[in-house]
């Protein structure tokens, strides 16, 4: 049997049989896919989201930085959360694939009822499927833990003493040593995970078709795949890659072939909207079809492998010619069309024909001048930024200076630590020549100098960068400087005739204070309730954060979704995106409705906003559609 089985397990032979099976069972599979999708959207996905949010509330560990995420992942509660998240996600996939396997393999008659019967059979086997999913996911998570711990130890040994921003921007030799040392560990983990995945690849059909318990199904899969794993690599890997790449490739092809025609449309909004609606309907149906094909091919591959190895049958038998569920199939296809129309209309009506977004220059115009310097602040004012974001730290003698990193290694090549150095010494350091000759002898400014530079010309977005144990002192020093600036402005308004040079007499309207620490944000609000506060975060896990403890949530731009925008509106706080330097990303975030975009290129963002304001309604709608499709 091994030689014959191996001959039947070639990629070409399996591809041929999977393709034939898909063609023969296309209608009942499509009906099941539609019914299951409706069930998943209305019941399974909301239940999964609620369960994970409830678990996070129990863990009580919202995530704000990558370091905190890493700590959570390696903690017992983090492992539990990872298992729960992956289990619930894969359970939905397993339920759908189990139903498709049943549709393809049994029963032989009454094909018009196959989809509904498959749904019922899957529901009946739900406990076993859930247990199988938990066992497999838990095994893979536990297998990954030694790898993660090893990577964590390597990171601490090679990079832990370096500032993370310094590592990202400079990429010192230690980073390449870390990558080189990590490759063998990651390769070993991938090899072991792939072997385990192939070993248990047929446990799902064994459970769903033989009625086996999860443990027996895993053992049965190992028996069936033993001696064939090398042959299974090519077909299984091909299908996995196809599932991952097919949606991306289809979307790219659609964008590059269909979107250019939108540019040919006249500016008449009455014509643009129906054409856009038609494009969206086609796009959504196309993506639904691609998703269906990927899941169906994976299910049919498992069916063909199971039948070959367990019953020497090459593929599922075709249904009787007269048993195609034509009426039910047409009804399901009509349901897909109705779903696509409503989705497309909802997308179109969500577009707002106004671009109400603020521009914040990240560390000043830090792509045009050295960051956190007076030159960068001046350039940000010229570029038309609404706010200028700066980072502040305390010197050893208690002065507030503008500097991001804890030490001067990245910008000045010095090992001096800001918190251990006096202001007088820091003022001798050149932090501009690294950027270019025009900025030779650019110095580290104080917060007082930043206020002087921006008074009446710009507003400051101050992020606190305290060292360990210095947070209270930094908060006190910043608030004291705010009060001093308030007094200076009041005196200016009393003495000067050209009061516009004095700035806003109420400093609290001109400043935002930010931090990545929720504790610091709460302390700032307690000491100065009138100050607007921002909580910066790399990632916030759903259900783990009180949304009333800040005025603004600053999220990394690639973590922002429509749900986050809606959540911000629901809880009445602003949503700021950082750090966005690509104009396509800027345009997408504007369309999503964020309140503020933080960028190293404020000039590019202000020019983009000016360009969009010159567009007609029809042209702007086309831009918004193009951005939505690209995202």
Other CB atoms within 10 Å distance of the CB of residue 520: 20
- CA 4-7-9 angle, to 5 degrees, is 110
**What does the alpha-carbon distance between residue 153 and residue 532 come to, in Å, rounded to a whole number?**
39
pLDDT in tens, 525-577: 999 999 999 999 887 876 667 788 899 999 999 889 888 888 898 999 999 99
pLDDT in tens, 453-465: 999 899 999 999 9
**What does the alpha-carbon distance between residue 533 and residue 540 come to, in Å, rounded to a whole number?**
17
Contact yes or no for 353/415 (Cβ under 8 A): no
pLDDT in tens, 65-92: 667 777 776 777 777 878 888 888 899 9
Which domains occur in the chain, in start order? 2-350 (no CATH), 358-630 (3.20.20.190)
Mean pLDDT (the chain, rounded): 85
**What does the alpha-carbon distance between residue 506 and residue 218 come to, in Å, rounded to a whole number?**
69
60 backbone φψ class: left, alpha, beta (φ>0; ψ -120 to 50): left
Task: Provide the 3-class DSSP secondary structure of residue 186.
Answer: helix
Q: Worst-scoring range by mean pLDDT, 61-75, 130-144, 500-514, 585-599?
A: 61-75
- Residue 515 to residues 74, 85, 413, 561: CA-CA distances in angstroms? 25, 29, 26, 22
Q: Residue 393: what are its φ and ψ, rounded to 5°?
A: -135, 165
Q: How far is CA 422 from the centre of its chain?
A: 41
SS3 content of the chain, % helix, strand, coil (to 5): 65, 10, 25
Strands 400-402 and 387-394: antiparallel
pLDDT in tens, 188-216: 999 999 999 999 999 999 999 898 999 99
Whether the per-residue pLDDT at 109 is higher than 60: the answer is: no
Structure token digits, residue 355: 């671009």
pLDDT in tens, 514-525: 999 888 999 999
Question: pLDDT at position 1, please?
Answer: 43
Contact yes or no for 549/535 (Cβ under 8 A): yes
**What does the alpha-carbon distance between residue 10 and residue 394 come to, in Å, rounded to a whole number?**
66
Question: pLDDT at position 363, please?
Answer: 95
Contact yes or no for 459/381 (Cβ under 8 A): no
Nearest C-alpha neighbor of 516 from the set 5, 62, 52: 62
Confidence of residue 172 (pLDDT cuts 50, 70, 90): confident
**What does the alpha-carbon distance between residue 186 and residue 52 come to, in Å, rounded to a whole number?**
28
Task: Provide the 3-class DSSP secondary structure of residue 511.
Answer: strand
**What does the alpha-carbon distance between residue 291 and residue 629 come to, in Å, rounded to a whole number?**
16
**What does the alpha-carbon distance between residue 98 and residue 85 come to, in Å, rounded to a whole number?**
20
Mean pLDDT of 132-137: 94
**What does the alpha-carbon distance between residue 11 and residue 236 come to, in Å, rounded to a whole number?**
9
Mean pLDDT of 152-161: 87
Mean pLDDT of 452-481: 93
Question: pLDDT at position 267, please?
Answer: 58
Please enumerate in sequence order all residues whose Cβ is within 8 A of that of 408, keeping only pairs 6 or more positions apart, or say none: 414, 415, 416, 417, 418, 429, 431
Contact yes or no for 295/96 (Cβ under 8 A): yes
């Amino acid at each position: 049997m091994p030689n014959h089985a191996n001959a039947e397990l070639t990629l070409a032979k399996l591809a041929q049989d999977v393709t034939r099976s898909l063609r023969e069972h296309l209608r009942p599979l499509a009906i099941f896919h539609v019914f299951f999708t409706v069930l998943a959207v209305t019941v399974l996905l909301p239940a999964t989201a609620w369960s994970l949010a409830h678990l996070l509330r129990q863990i009580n560990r919202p995530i704000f930085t990558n370091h905190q995420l890493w700590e959570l992942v390696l903690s017992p509660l983090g492992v539990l959360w990872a298992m729960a998240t992956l289990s619930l996600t894969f359970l939905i996939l397993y339920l759908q694939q189990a139903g498709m396997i049943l549709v393809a393999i049994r029963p032989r008659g009454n094909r018009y009822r196959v989809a509904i019967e498959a749904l019922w059979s899957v529901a009946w086997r739900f406990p076993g499927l859930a247990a199988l999913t938990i066992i497999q996911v838990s095994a893979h998570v536990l297998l990954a833990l030694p790898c993660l711990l090893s990577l964590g130890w390597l990171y601490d040994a090679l990079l832990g003493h370096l500032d993370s921003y310094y590592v990202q921007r400079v990429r010192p030799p230690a980073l390449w040593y870390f990558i080189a040392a990590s490759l063998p560990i990651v390769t070993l983990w991938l090899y072991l995970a792939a072997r385990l995945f192939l070993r248990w690849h047929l446990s799902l059909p064994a459970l769903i078709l033989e009625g086996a318990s999860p443990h027996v199904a895993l053992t049965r899969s190992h028996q069936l795949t033993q001696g064939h794993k090398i042959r299974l690599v090519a077909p299984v890997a091909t299908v996995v890659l196809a599932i991952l790449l097919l949606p991306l490739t289809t979307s790219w092809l659609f964008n590059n072939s269909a979107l250019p025609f939108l540019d040919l449309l006249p500016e008449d909004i009455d014509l643009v909207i129906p054409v856009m609606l038609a494009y969206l309907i086609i796009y959504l149906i196309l993506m639904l079809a691609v998703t269906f094909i990927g899941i169906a091919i994976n299910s049919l591959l498992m069916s063909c492998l199971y039948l070959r190895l367990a019953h020497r049958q090459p593929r599922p038998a075709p249904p009787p010619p007269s048993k195609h569920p034509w009426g039910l199939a047409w009804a399901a296809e009509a349901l897909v069309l109705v779903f696509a129309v409503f989705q497309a209309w909802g997308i179109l009506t969500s577009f707002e024909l106004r671009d109400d977004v603020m521009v914040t220059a990240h560390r000043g115009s830090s792509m045009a001048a050295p960051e956190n310097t007076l030159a960068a602040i001046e350039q940000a004012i010229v570029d038309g930024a609404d706010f200028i974001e700066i980072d502040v730290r305390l010197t050893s003698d208690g002065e507030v200076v503008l500097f991001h990193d804890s030490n001067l290694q990245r910008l000045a090549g010095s090992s001096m630590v800001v918190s251990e150095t006096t202001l007088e010494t820091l003022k001798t350091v050149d932090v501009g020549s690294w950027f270019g000759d025009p900025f030779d002898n650019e110095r580290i400014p104080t917060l007082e100098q930043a206020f002087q530079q921006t008074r009446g010309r710009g507003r400051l977005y101050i992020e606190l960068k305290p060292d360990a144990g210095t947070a209270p002192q930094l908060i006190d020093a910043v608030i004291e400087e705010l009060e001093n600036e308030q007094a200076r402005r009041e005196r200016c308004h009393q003495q000067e005739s050209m009061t516009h040079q004095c700035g806003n007499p109420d400093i609290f309207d001109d400043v935002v204070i930010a931090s990545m620490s929720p504790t610091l944000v709460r302390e700032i609000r307690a000491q100065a309730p009138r100050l607007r506060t921002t909580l910066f975060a790399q990632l916030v896990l759903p259900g783990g954060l009180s949304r009333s403890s800040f005025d603004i949530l600053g999220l990394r731009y690639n973590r922002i979704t429509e749900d986050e925008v809606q959540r911000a509106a629901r809880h009445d706080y602003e949503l700021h995106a950082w750090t966005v330097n690509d104009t396509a990303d800027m345009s997408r975030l504007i369309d999503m409705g964020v309140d503020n975009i933080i960028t190293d290129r404020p000039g590019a963002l202000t020019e983009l906003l000016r360009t969009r304001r010159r567009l007609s309604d029809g042209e702007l709608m086309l831009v918004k559609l193009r951005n939505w499709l690209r995202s």
